[in-house]
Structure formats: structure tokens, C-alpha cells
Structure 1
Amino acid sequence: MAQNQSYAGNGAYPDSYYAASRNIVRTPKVLEGAVTADVAVLGAGYSGLSTAIHLAELGYKVVMVEGAGIGWGASGRNGGQLVNGLNASLDTIRRRYGEEAGAFVGGLVQEGGRIIRRLVSQYGINCDLKDGNIYAAYTPAHMKELEHKKALWKRYGMDDHQLLDKDAIGKLVNTDAYVGGMLDTTGGHLHPLNLTLGEAAALESLGGVIYEQSPVIRVEHEAEKPVIHTARGSVTANTAVICGNAYLGHVVPKLVSRVMPVSTQMIATEPLGAERADALIPSDMCVEDVRYILDYFRLSADKRMIFGGGTVYGGTDPADVRAKIRPNLEKVFPSLKGVKIDYAWSGNFALSFSRVPQMGKIGKNTYFAHGYSGHGVTGSHLFGKILSEAIHGDLSRYSQFEKLPWIPFPGGRMFRAQYSTIGSWWYQFKDAFGL
């Protein structure tokens, strides 16, 4: 029976299209009593699952503790888009941290997608994986950004992008909204919750143990052997990995000020039928525009339009998700005006002030990773692999990320949401006027 939890209610999945169409229904195992492991992982989202699988493949005894269900948070309710890169651009990383850091990040931003494809293939994960994503431009200024991005990524060995003029993008996405765009053939999209559920099954096939509906109340992260405590049990391990991201709450006070929860909203229409759906996105690729407050969308396997966008800093949900997102959907696809919306949901991602994910240690043997800032599907899988390398003794890539300084939110925890909201107004102004 699910325990009552402050952040997840009774631990049930939100009323999303993904929860309704998941292909694995698990019987949760609750942590009771004291157990031991080589590695204890807090959080059964992409970061935790990637870390755990890579370690289990190396022979480690891994125990995972999740407060709700597998993929209950952002990993199981996101846009399902495999978008390469971090929220912070390579330009920003080069300017802020130097050319060496830019070259390092530029050399690995496509690796997360390769990790996902390897796991899907090797473990037979059924998650509707499809190739290709499109960056859409509303203005000539957006096109200039994409031209620069293509040239910069090519400089770092990524020559998988094709610029699209208005006619070319119109053949891939049937809308007059865009002046052009860019195609990334190494991107893609999938059913995010089914990916997490398939990865959990993969971990268990490797001998990993997963405890669900077991909210963590405390972590002894300074101990030589860290201990993860729940209301009814504990896991003592040689190494712990904290992957709570936007839903970690105050369980680890040291990490609270590093990120801020931000909510984004999504809707799924009724099934449109193959003919109507394929006419809207003939390429069957996923799409995101390049504005600061962006829209993102794709077709599901059963031919629904899944459309998301919007942000609320601080992680609160809007009163009416349908009313907030429907106008954006109908702006891009006027033919969908009045279409029935079967599902509407919201979820939080963890925003770092620098828009660069963070990886590090608190205590001698406790690692953490978080702050993907809305670009977490591929980034979290990459960070999980890098964490596994560090735990296994190869610190080369981990050290590169660990040494990147994190920047606290101006105003601290109390005013970080207000500060970020004010800052976003400037970018929304630029979006509105095509600047």
C-alpha cells in the first residue's frame, strides 16, 4: 500500500497520457528494514536509472530507492524529445568556462542519445523510439541563431544538421508558422515513461533491486558509508548517488539552493487518425521552436498530438493547463481548433542558474547530479554514465564537470522564483518582437 508523501500524494502517477498508455504495470516493493549495497541510488528517474544500469553492468550490487513510482517525476512526464545539447549553448559554455570546457562538452553532447538507443536495443525496451528532431524558427533572427549553431557544432565534429528554408520545413511540419528551421538527424522522440519502466526492468535483469513507494526522509551523506533512510527502512552502501532533481525537496539541505523547480505543461489530443495526423507532421519527427519560452510537440504512436510549453518558476501548476496550452497548439495548427483534449498535465524540471547541469560530491562517497534545465532526457543518461565511470575509478570526465562552478540564484531560495520570472520577461519581450 502506498505511503502518504508530501511531494507525491499517495505516489500514484499523474493523470497523463503517458501513465494511461504505459506498457508495464509494476507491483511496488517497499523498503522495510536495513539493507546493504555496493551502491545506493536515490531517485528512479533517468539519472538514477542510467547510473544504476551502467554500474550493474560492471558487476556492482545496486539498490535504488524511489519515493513514488518509476519515472514518477520529470522522467515519466516530459515531452519525450531526444534533443542534443545542454540548455546553455556551446557558445555560452566557451565564453563562461573557456575553450577547453567548450571542446569537452561539444565532444559529448550527442552521447546521451546513443546511450538511450543502446539501452533500447540491448534490453528490448518498447518505447516507440523514432529518429529526427526539428528546431523551428519564427523569425529571421532565429534563423541566424540556427546558422550559427550549425557552424559551431560542425566545428566540434557534429555534422548531422540540415538548415531548412520555409518550403523545406513546411514539407516536414505542415504549418505556416515558421520561416525555417534546422533538422538534427541524431535527435528523436519516444514514450518517456515506457523508457523508464523498461530501464527499470533492465536494471532488475542485471540483479539490481528497486524499492518504490519509499520516500526518503534523510541521507547520511557525510558518513564513510552513506546511509539512505526511509520511514520504514534504510540502505547502507559503499557509495550513494542522489538523483532526486526537481523532486528532492529538503531531504538533502546542502542541495536545496543549487536548483529551482520549474513546471512545464503538456496536453494530448484525442487520437487524430493516421491520415489527419500524418498530414500535420509528415516527417513524424519531434519539433521545438527556438524561443526562450518555447513550444514543443510530436505525434504519439496512436496518432495523438502531444503539445507542451509554458513555464511557472517555483514549480507550481497553473489552474487550467488546457486553457494555457490550447492557444499555442491552435496557433501552430489552426486546423486543430476546438480539437478534443484527452489529457492535460504538468511536471517540474530542475533549473540551474547557469543552465548547465551540475555533478559533484557531498561527503566522501556521496555523488549527485541534477539541474538539466529542461534538456534532461539525453543529458541525464550521459551524466549517469559519467557518474558510473567515476564510481568505478575513472574520474576523467567526472572531474571536468565537477570543476565547473555553480552559480547561486540571486535573492537566494526565498526570491529565486521572482528573480527568474522577471528575467524571463525580457526574453519573452524579445520573442514577441522577433529580436
Structure 2
Amino acid sequence: MANTPYPQSYYAASANAAPVRPSLQDDVETDVCVIGAGYTGLSSALFLLEKGFKVTVLEAAKVGFGASGRNGGQIVNSYSRDIDVIERSVGPKQAQLLGQMAFEGGRIIRERVAKYQIQCDLKDGGVFAAITSKQMGHLESQKRLWERYGHTQLELLDQSRIREVVACDLYQGGMLDMSGGHIHPLNLALGEAAAVESLGGVIYEQSPAVRIERGTNPVIHTPQGKVRAKFVIVAGNAYLGNLVPELAAKSMPCGTQVITTEPLNDELAKSLLPQDYCVEDCNYLLDYYRLSADKRLIFGGGVVYGARDPANIEAIIRPKMLKAFPQLKDVKIDYAWTGNFLLTLSRLPQVGRLGDNIYYSQGCSGHGVTYTHLAGKVLAEALRGQAERFDAFAELPHYPFPGGQLLRTPFTAMGAWYYSLRDKLGF
């Protein structure tokens, strides 16, 4: 049977030790079968195990193989489309529920790290950096919006203040969110997997779900085994493939690229990001960066629609890094990788149920680190019969991409080009 290793990323190279987990070779029974050992699946499994459910997790490759172990490692609040967009498209009660949940994912991460003593280099503080005065005006509005929902750990940064937290001349100002922050994303996933197992959960790696036999007690088939369950949680996101065709129709895998420098000396690292906050700019196709625990700069950006792997990732991202930090022109790049996230047309997550017993959450649209942890809690609540928060997500309207699967990539890329041009022209 094929063995799928981690990609050659900095995160895989610096991952904490983890056990070799077996592939599924038998027929097993469980209360809940979770498909996917990324953040959504692991968060769901943990919340369910804490409530006494028997949980089996199937992972096609290794824990955190997908976006959960490859992302920029930034704890960013809210959703890919902010609460004001939700307020305009749904009723006040639904908007209120979703707004209240917009800041919960980061709290869940911190609770997990503390409760299960997960070593993942957690640091507080995230900066939204405005390149134009228009973007700065948006951040001022965003601060007022978030404070309406009780989120108050925010500080607006003028041009002089932002240069105290990031040594970059590109920015007009920004907003600091002290409930944001950053982590080693793969080590967070590995720590959560260990927590799942400490509570009696079972994780099978190299065990892709190839078919779901739907019914009163669904059966999930893998190449060499099967799981009979009372409930199924589908948490494959951009790596789900066509296992559930009705989910694939309303979403599109996209790739984002990340590079990591060689370790920087202490003086240079501190000069770039003196408070060790993470940063993302406010462009539609945004750049994001932070320091690792061993003083490397991790810099990501760009989107490849349709999730093709670029031939030369460094050639795409290094110029972005040097535009922000020209002082790094002689610094070597040690790692470059790509990873896929799942995009929806609305840029809001898709949550729902197929029949009576198959639940799913997908389509974080690039905002997944915090949302996926919230999603696990919301899915677990729904399985226990507490569906109000689940329904608030499930009732969000979603539509297929124009042109179907054949044309969704070029149409979406055209839209992104338009917004990218607006970013460059400053309007």
C-alpha cells in the first residue's frame, strides 16, 4: 500500500516526535468516524471524546498532512468574509450568533495548548498591515465592528507606531490584535492527535476513505478495512477529492506558497519584528509572515487557483519578501512548499448534514486555523443534539461556481486578477 509522507516543509523538518500510526486493516465499529486528521477532524474528535463518545479517525496520509500542517501558522480571528458581510446577507439572530463565534477559535486553541500541554511555540499578537489609506480606513471600521461583538483586544497603529512592531516601509498603519498570534501548525496538530489518543480515540494513518456506504449505520470503506459508525464527520477540506460529490461541486481547492529563510541572527530577527508578532497585509491576495522559534522568517502569499504546484515557489515568493524586507537580499531560503486550502464562492465556510448522520464542515477560504477549531466544537454540539450554532452556519447561502468544475478555475482567477489590480492601483 502507498505510503504518503509529509511534504518537505520547514514544519515537517522541525516537527515534534510522533508515533508511527497503523493503517486500518480490519473492520471496526465506533460511535463517530471522522474522515481527516487535520484541525477540523482533530477538534471534532477531541470535543466528542471529552463527552464520552467512541471516536475513530481515518487519515489518508499523516496527521496534519494537509493545510493544518502547512499553513502560515497565524491565529487570525473572524472569517474570510467578515461579520459585516454576514450581517448584510442573513437575519439579525443568525448574524448575532455567527458574530459571537467569530473570536472563539483562538480561545479554543489556547485552551487546548494549556490543557494538553501542547508544545507548538504559541506566541500572542497579530498585526493587520494597511498599505493604503483606504485599507487603514477599513481597519478603523473593522475595529468598531469587532468591538460591537465584544472583541476588545485591539489597537490601531499609526505609521510611526506600526514601524515599532514591523521594520517595513510599505505600511500606512495597521491594527494589532493581541488575541491573534502564531504557532507551529504541524506541532499543534500532532499535539491534538496525542490528546485524542490520550482520551481513547484511535487514529489510522495511510487510510484514505474511498467510499461511504450511507444508511442508518454508515460504513466507511478504506483500501484494506472499513468502519461502521453511528455518525460520520467529513473533514477532508481541500484534500477530500470526490468522496462526497455534492460537496465538491460548491468548492475549489487552491494553493498557497510559503518559504522559510535560514536562521537569522538575533539582532536581525529582532530588527524585523521586535515584538515577535505575526503580520498579514490587507490586500485581496495578501502576504503574511512571522518568525519561527529558531529565528527564521516564514513568508507566504500568492494563490494558485485549482491547486497546481508551481515549478519554482521561491521565484514567486522571494520577491514579495524582499519588497517588504530588502535587507534580506543575501539571506538563503532553506524551505519552499505549497499547500491547498478550500475556497467557496461566498468565502464563508460550508457546514451541514447529509441525511441524518453524515456531518461536514469545509471551505475555510484561507481563514482556517481558528475557524476549524470552532467547527469541531460546533459539529460535536450538533451530534449531541445542540444544533443552534450548527444551524447558524448551515443556513448560510452557498452557490456552485459559475461554469461548473470545468470553468470555476479560470473564472475565479479572473476575479482575483481584478481585485489584485485594484490593490495595486489603490482603490
TM (norm. structure 2) is 0.99
- CA contact under 8 A between 1:24 and 1:194: conserved in structure 2? no
State the partner residue of 1:115.
Answer: 108
Distance 1:422 1:101 in 2: 32
- CA contact under 8 A between 2:125 and 2:180: conserved in structure 1? yes
How far is 1:364 from its partner? 1.5
How far is 1:201 from its partner? 0.2
Which stretch of the first structure deviates more once superposed, 82-91 or 150-159?
Answer: 150-159
How far is 1:108 from its partner? 1.2
Distance 1:287 1:80 in 2: 11
Letter in 2 for 1:319: A
Structure 1 segments unaligned to the other structure (5+ residues): 5-9
- CA contact under 8 A between 2:261 and 2:334: conserved in structure 1? yes
Given the alignment of the two structures, is residue 237 of structure 1 paired with residue 237 of structure 2, yes or no?
no
How do 1:134-213 and structure 2 match up within 5 A?
134-213=127-206
2:79 to 69, 78, 86: 86
1:293 to 285, 288, 304: 285
How far is 1:396 from its partner? 1.3
SS at 2:249 equivalent: helix
Distance 1:159 1:64 in 2: 37
1:310 to 302, 306, 318: 302
State the partner residue of 2:255.
Answer: 263
SS at 1:309 equivalent: strand
Letter in 2 for 1:23: N
Distance 1:403 1:226 in 2: 25
State the partner residue of 1:276.
Answer: 268
State the partner residue of 2:313.
Answer: 321
How far is 1:102 from its partner? 2.4
* Corresponding pairs, count: 427
Distance 1:81 1:196 in 2: 14
How do 1:40-59 and structure 2 match up within 5 A?
40-59=33-52
- CA contact under 8 A between 1:44 and 1:71: conserved in structure 2? yes
Given the alignment of the two structures, is residue 419 of structure 1 paired with residue 411 of structure 2, yes or no?
yes
Structure 2 segments unaligned to the other structure (5+ residues): none
How far is 1:342 from its partner? 0.1
Given the alignment of the two structures, is residue 217 of structure 1 paired with residue 210 of structure 2, yes or no?
yes
How do 1:68-107 and structure 2 match up within 5 A?
68-107=61-100
SS at 2:126 equivalent: strand
Distance 1:126 1:406 in 2: 37
Distance 1:344 1:324 in 2: 10
Q: Deviation digits for residues 19-38 of structure 1, max 9, x if unmatched? A: 00001233121101100001
- CA contact under 8 A between 2:38 and 2:65: conserved in structure 1? yes
Distance 1:304 1:369 in 2: 33
Letter in 2 for 1:282: P
RMSD between aligned residues: 0.8
Structure 1 segments of 4+ aligned residues over 4 angstroms from their partners: none
Q: Deviation digits for residues 364-402 of structure 1, max 9, x if unmatched? A: 101000000000000000010000011112111111111
Q: Deviation digits for residues 63-88 of structure 1, max 9, x if unmatched? A: 00000000000000000000001001
SS at 1:216 equivalent: coil
- CA contact under 8 A between 2:126 and 2:177: conserved in structure 1? yes
TM (norm. structure 1) is 0.97
SS at 1:107 equivalent: helix
Distance 2:300 2:417 in 1: 19
Distance 1:288 1:404 in 2: 27
Distance 2:104 2:7 in 1: 30
Distance 1:385 1:186 in 2: 19
- CA contact under 8 A between 1:268 and 1:341: conserved in structure 2? yes
1:391 to 383, 394, 397: 383
Letter in 1 for 2:301: G
Q: Percent identity?
A: 54
- CA contact under 8 A between 2:98 and 2:392: conserved in structure 1? no
How far is 1:251 from its partner? 1.4
Q: Deviation digits for residues 242-299 of structure 1, max 9, x if unmatched? A: 0000000011112111210000000000000222101110010100001000000000
Q: Deviation digits for residues 45-72 of structure 1, max 9, x if unmatched? A: 0000000000001111100000000000
